[in-house]
Structure 1
Amino acid sequence: MAVIARETETALDASRDRYGRTVHHDAATAARTRRTQAALATYAIHLAEHGQQLLTAARSGLDHQPPAPHTEAWRDLLDALATSHTEITRTLTHPAGPGSTEQRQQHAAVWPHLAFWADYGSIAADLADQHHHPGPELSAEDKHRWTDQARAARRRGELEPIESWYAADGRLITLAYLVQDDTSTVIALSGDLDAAAGWEVIGHYDDELAAGRALPRAVPPGVLRPDAPSRFNRPEPTPERPVQELLQDVIEARTAGEVSEALLAAAQPGYDAGPLVRLERLLDTAARFSYALDTVRGQQVGARLAALGRQLAFLTQEVHDAAEDLGATVGVLPPHRTPAPPRTRPRAAVSTTPPAPPARSTATARRA
């Protein structure tokens, strides 16, 4: 599906103008039709006959997991995937005529179900593959001893996190290198590594592969916005002027009003927001993501990003005010700033006789 989406985005980009607005609507419609047909064909090959079996296995895997706040939400998600599977198979069984109005309506109705499976079918696959029995954890005494070593290494800056995931019971597990006396050991920790207390070492291993075999499997990670649009069904992009184009407008400007317009475009709010406003939104969204990690470090980084967003909002307003002040000067560049002529080398005239080549020495001349 990712390949289909990339090909479709390439085709849709060709149907838009330089600011992202669709101008060739027929080409865009044809690209979406090809996208839906390709997705249906892929689904028919890989999931049409096996989708129900996958969902059954996912429900079975979920039944064997310990109770957690996310299990009921996953059950609802599996039910929604089952509904989408039914709608997709119905379309595959009773396709409308090619090029007909019914086909366009059918494609418009089935595409959200295809996108839903492309986004979250992996959750069903992960849940179906949760029949893994982890190895035993360390004894209470060994946990205490290894945790003390890890805390000491953390203070020395010699505890290097590798990756982290959530287990089915809701625990946050982190894999890390513990460096002692120029030797490195792979250890696993349970809890928030950046918290002052509350985390402990639950195992040590010869390598990362051994750790993966012994530790609980990762469950599917969450999402920032549960109601966010699908990555395969993103809304139409809003018009946007690139920073490079605004910069070039300033370089080519002759009057203060032209530069003022470029700066105002960079700081413009609303639907067709400028790059400064879009960057502010990016920082704010990244801050919400960092807060949503529910870790000490995540809260700290989220606060930094939120502060940067507020600073950028202030800077954006300053740019807007300065742009208006610059436009009010009604100034123009003085004429002594004359353009430099292009640096070109003169070409020889067609009738010019080329210079004679240098005389070549001969053996006789050399003997003489």
Structure 2
Amino acid sequence: MAVIDQSAEDAKASNRDRYGRTVRPDVARTIEAAQHQEALDAYASHLAPHAADLLAAARTALDELPPAQHLPRWRALLGSLADADAEIRQVLAQPDVPGSDAEHLRRTRVWPYLTAWADHGPVATALAEQPRTPADPLPEEERRRWTERARAAQERGDLDLHTSWYAADGRIITLAFLVEDDDSTVIALAGDPDAPGWQVLGHFDDMFTAGQALPAPVPPGVFRADASPFDHPAPAPERGLQELLRDITVAQSAGEVSDALLTATEPGYCAGPLVRLQELLHTAGQAAAALETVQGQQISGRLSMLARQLGLLTDEVQVAAEDLGATVAVLPPHRTPLPRARPRPAVDTAPPPSPGRATAPTRSR
């Protein structure tokens, strides 16, 4: 689905002008119809024969997981996938009438169900692979000793975090390299590495061995529950910084420079680059906070502060742009452009002599 979707988006992008507006609506509809049909064919070939078995295995694994707040939501997702599969099968059972309005409506109606499987199908797959029996935990004394070594390495900056996931019991599992005397050991931590109370689960020869021995990962969460990578809102008309910079470099008056700056700070639907950057920082801060870790909360605060500072800077740029435009000044005439056309030499003019061959300097003995 990701490949199909990206291919369609590339085709749609070639049918838009510089401001993101569709040039030929009929071409866009043709691209969308082909995208929907290709996705439907892929589902029928690769997933439809196995969807029921996959959902059954996922439900069985879900029943065996320890209680957690996310289990009811996963169960609801599996039910939603079953409903989507039923809708897709109903569409597949209908006869094809190429080019008809009914065929177009059929493809359009089935698209949300196909994207639901593309978005949430990995949850069913990950659950179907549960559970994995973890290795026996370290003896209490050995766990305490390795935890002390890891904490000491963290204090001196020699604990390099590599990857993390959530286990079925809700713990954060983190793989890290414990560096001691120019030698590194793969260790697994349980808990937030930046919060008090984390412990070492075990030490391993390599990452693969650790991944096989530790509790299996469960599907990670999402930042926004209603978002999907397959939702592509119509691009808002906007001008990039490079284009605005070019407008300033060819400007001949204060008004032209002012217009470029005001475009960069414009709010609303056609927001300028500075406003978009502020929105980016604000949203990234929210995403960092959603991690619910110590470092995530701290970085969220930093990003939020940067977003506020950028907002103040944007206001200052807007005021400066308005003041610049109010000057109604133009560039002085002595700032003339460079000549581009040079007179050609006469036909009988001898070419300039070529530079003589450089000779190596003579060294005196």
Shorter-chain TM-score bucket reads over 0.9
1:301-334 CA-partner distances (Å, limit 9, x unpaired): 0000000000011111111111111110101000
Matched with 1:65 is 65
Partner of 2:362: none
Kept in 1: contact 2:131–2:216 (CA 8 A): no
Equivalents in 2 of 1:353, 1:271: separation in Å?
62
Alpha-carbon distance change, 247 to 95 in structure 1, aligned in 2, over 3 angstroms = farther
3-state DSSP of counterpart to 1:160: strand
Counterpart check, 1:319 vs 2:320: no
- 2:6 counterpart residue number: 6
TM-score, reference length from structure 2: 0.93
2:289 aligned residue: 291
Task: Report the secondary structure of 1:176's partner residue.
Answer: strand
* Mapped contact 1:4–1:39 kept (Cα < 8 A): yes
1:233 matched to 2:240? The reply is: no
AA matched with 1:29:
R
Distance 1:242 1:102 in 2: 41
Structure 2 residues not aligned, in runs of 5+? 355-365
Q: Distance in 2 between matches of 1:82 and 1:327?
A: 61
Match of 1:247 in 2: 245
Q: Equivalents in 2 of 1:345, 1:130: separation in Å?
A: 76
Residue 23 of structure 1 is matched in structure 2 by 23
SS at match of 1:131: coil
- Once the two structures are superposed, residues 248-282 of structure 1 have per-residue CA deviations (whole angstroms, 9 ceiling, x without a partner) of 11111111111111111100000111111111110
Query: What residue identity is the alignment partner of 1:93?
Result: A
Measure, in 2, the Cα distance between the counterparts of 1:111 and 1:32: 10
2:263 is aligned to: 265
Say whether the 8 Å CA contact 1:238–1:272 is kept in structure 2.
yes
Distance of aligned partners of 1:347 and 1:58 in 2 relative to their CA distance in 1, 3 Å threshold: farther
Work out the CA distance in 1 between the residues paired with 2:163 and 2:307: 28
2:188 alignment partner, SS class:
strand
What is the CA-CA distance between 1:107 and the residue it aligns to?
A: 1.6
Tell me the alpha carbon deviations over residues 179-215 of structure 1, each in whole angstroms, 9 at most, x when there is no partner. Answer: 12222111000001011x1100011111111101110
Query: Which residues of 2 match residues 208-219 of structure 1 at below 5 A?
Result: 208-219=207-218
Residues 250 and 56 of structure 1: CA distance in aligned 2, closer, same or farther (over 3 Å):
same
Q: Which letter maps to 1:32?
A: E
Query: Residue 348 and residue 36 in structure 1: after superposition, are their counterparts in 2 closer, same or farther (change >3 A)?
Result: farther
Q: Distance in 1 between matches of 2:322 and 2:349?
A: 61
- Looking at structure 2, the residues matched to 80 and 348 of structure 1 have their Cα atoms a distance apart, in angstroms, of 79
CA distance, structure 2, for counterparts of residue 239 and residue 28 of structure 1: 18
3-state SS of 1:32 partner? helix
- Per-residue CA deviation, residues 77-124 of structure 1 (Å, 9 max, x unaligned), is 011111111111111111441111112211221111111111111111
Tell me the equivalent position of 2:358.
Answer: none
Name structure 1 gaps, 5 residues minimum.
359-368
Which residue of the partner structure matches residue 366 of structure 1?
A: none
Change (3 A) 1:53 1:347: farther
Structure 1 runs of 4+ aligned residues shifted over 2 Å read 344-349, 351-355
What SS does the corresponding residue of 2:168 show, helix, strand or coil? coil
Whether 1:328 aligns to 2:326 is yes
Q: Which amino acid aligns with 1:287?
A: G
The DSSP-based 3-state class of the residue aligned with 1:68 is coil
- The one-letter amino acid of 2:265's match is A
Which secondary structure state, in structure 1, belongs to the residue aligned with residue 153 of structure 2? helix
Q: Partner of 1:164 in structure 2?
A: 164
Q: Secondary structure at the match of 1:294?
A: coil
Equivalence for 1:97: 97
Distance across 2 between alignment mates of 1:198 and 1:47: 44
Aligned residues: 353
Mapping for residues 23-172 of structure 1, pairs under 5 Å: 23-172=23-172
**Partner Cα separation in structure 1 for residue 343 and residue 38 of structure 2:** 57
8 A contact 2:237–2:270 mirrored in 1: yes
TM-score, structure 1 normalization? 0.92
For the 8 Å contact 1:147–1:200, the answer to whether it is kept is yes
The residue identity in structure 1 corresponding to 2:28 is A
Pair 1:222 & 2:213 matched: no
Q: Pairwise CA RMSD of aligned residues?
A: 1.7
Give the superposition deviation at 1:131. 3.1
The CA deviation at 1:345 is 6.8
Look up the SS of the partner of 2:203 in the other structure. Answer: strand
Write the distance in 1 (CA, Å) between the matches of 2:74 and 2:166.
Answer: 15
**8 A Cα contact 1:143 1:200, kept in partner:** yes
Give the corresponding residue for 1:184. Answer: 184
Q: CA deviation at 1:352?
A: 5.3
Distance in 2 of aligned mates of 1:322 and 1:31: 45
Q: In the alignment, is the contact (CA less than 8 A) between 1:112 and 1:233 conserved in 2?
A: no
Deviations 1:11-50, CA, capped at 9 Å, x for gaps: 1101111011222211111111110011011111101111
